[in-house]
């Protein structure tokens, strides 16, 4: 069993403190939903875990299986088992989904650390054998309801919101992270796309993988059942419980959170 532990995490951007003492522990096999109003700092937490260089960590730690990842670059954190699904995935014209995934998988699985005998023994030029990659990609695309034509399309270029989120589910399936951080994966999806994405998440929610799902709404949680639900407000977690917490938010909104936990100003976009 693996563990992602966030200890008293404080983070700032341009001298503005956004995360104000976040504590959270996520184990393999657990799904933890993080809910809160716009501007509370949820997305900042996701970016900080993934290693976005825009944010400065001023206090606290992030550990995977007891080892701090604060000094790791983003790619090193991916190799350590962290995956971030973006709320708004960026288009990469000129790079096909297949080429992107082959390069990413080769890095995570260590192929690029091996010398390529076909290129004079150069480290970093070796990739997963094409035959093996194609076999695995074809199987995963079928399993996760991703049309085979996606492999040839440029990454997220001209994709609908649902297509982008399906592609991120495919990335998770190929990279096989220990912990998947989902930043509002339900954003901009119609009900059919939401069901397809939720089905992919449920297939990936094995005993070997933990999920931290960031969302505003109950609707994703109607399809992906969390073990824990936390309310994020003013840069910190203010309440944690079971699925009933999400149901309470759906019924009462976020106004009561401000009344109960103070008028902490919203800290991020």
Q: What pLDDT score does 15 carry?
A: 87
Q: Are residues 85 and 216 in the same domain?
A: yes
Portion of the chain with pLDDT greater than 70, in percent: 93
Global pTM value: 0.90
pLDDT tens, 171-225? 999 999 999 999 988 888 888 889 888 999 999 999 999 999 998 888 899 999 9
Paired tokens of 49 = 């875990």
Q: Are residues 83 and 99 in the same domain?
A: no
Mean pLDDT of 22-51: 95
Q: Are residues 120 and 253 in the same domain?
A: no
Q: What is the CATH number for 25?
A: 3.40.50.300
Q: Are residues 75 and 118 in the same domain?
A: no
Q: Are residues 81 and 103 in the same domain?
A: no
CA angle 166, 77, 36 (to 5 degrees): 60
- Which of these three, 104, 131, 158, is where a domain ends? 158
Residue-number span of the structural domain to which 35 is assigned: 3-89+177-261
Q: What pLDDT score does 123 carry?
A: 46
Mean pLDDT of 88-96: 94
Number of domains in the chain: 2
The rounded mean pLDDT for the chain is 91
Q: 118 Cβ partners below 8 Å, 6+ apart?
A: none
Least confident of 12-16, 44-48, 133-137, 258-262: 258-262
Paired tokens of 70 = 């604060």
pLDDT tens, 201-214? 999 999 999 999 99
Q: What pLDDT score does 126 carry?
A: 85
- How far from 219 is each of 19, 33, 189, 243, CA to CA, in Å? 26, 12, 11, 12
Q: Are residues 9 and 126 in the same domain?
A: no
Q: Are residues 14 and 58 in the same domain?
A: yes
Q: Are residues 39 and 100 in the same domain?
A: no
For 18-78, give the DSSP string. Answer: EEEEEEEEEETT-EEEEE--TTSSHHHHHHHHHT-TT-EEEEEEEEETTEE-TTS-HHHHH
Neighbours of 41 (CB within 10 A): 24
Q: For residue 263, what pLDDT band results from cuts at 50, 70 and 90?
A: low
Q: Are residues 189 and 241 in the same domain?
A: yes
Does residue 103 have a pLDDT over 90? yes
């Amino acid at each position: 069993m693996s563990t992602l532990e966030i200890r008293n995490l404080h983070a700032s951007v341009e001298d503005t403190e956004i995360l104000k003492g976040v504590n959270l522990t996520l184990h393999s096999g657990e799904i933890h939903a993080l809910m809160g109003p716009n501007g509370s700092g949820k997305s900042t937490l996701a970016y900080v875990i993934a290693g976005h260089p825009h944010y400065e960590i001023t206090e606290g730690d992030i550990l995977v299986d007891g080892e701090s990842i604060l000094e790791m670059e983003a790619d090193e954190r991916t190799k350590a088992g962290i995956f971030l699904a973006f709320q708004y995935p960026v288009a990469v014209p000129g790079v096909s989904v297949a080429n992107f995934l082959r390069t990413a998988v080769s890095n995570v699985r260590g192929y690029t650390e091996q010398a390529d005998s076909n290129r004079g023994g150069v480290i970093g030029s070796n990739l997963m054998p094409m035959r093996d990659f194609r076999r695995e990609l074809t199987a995963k695309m079928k399993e996760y309801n991703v049309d085979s034509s996606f492999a040839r399309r440029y990454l997220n270029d001209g994709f609908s919101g649902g297509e982008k989120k399906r592609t991120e589910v495919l990335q998770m399936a190929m990279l096989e992270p220990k912990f998947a951080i989902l930043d509002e994966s339900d954003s901009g999806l119609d009900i059919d796309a939401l069901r397809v994405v939720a089905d992919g998440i449920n297939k990936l929610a094995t005993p070997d993988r933990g999920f931290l799902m960031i969302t505003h709404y109950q609707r994703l949680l109607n399809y992906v059942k969390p073990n824990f639900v936390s309310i994020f407000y003013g840069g910190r977690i203010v309440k944690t419980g079971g699925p009933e917490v999400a149901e309470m938010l759906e019924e009462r909104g976020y106004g009561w959170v401000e009344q109960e936990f103070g008028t902490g100003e919203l800290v991020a976009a």
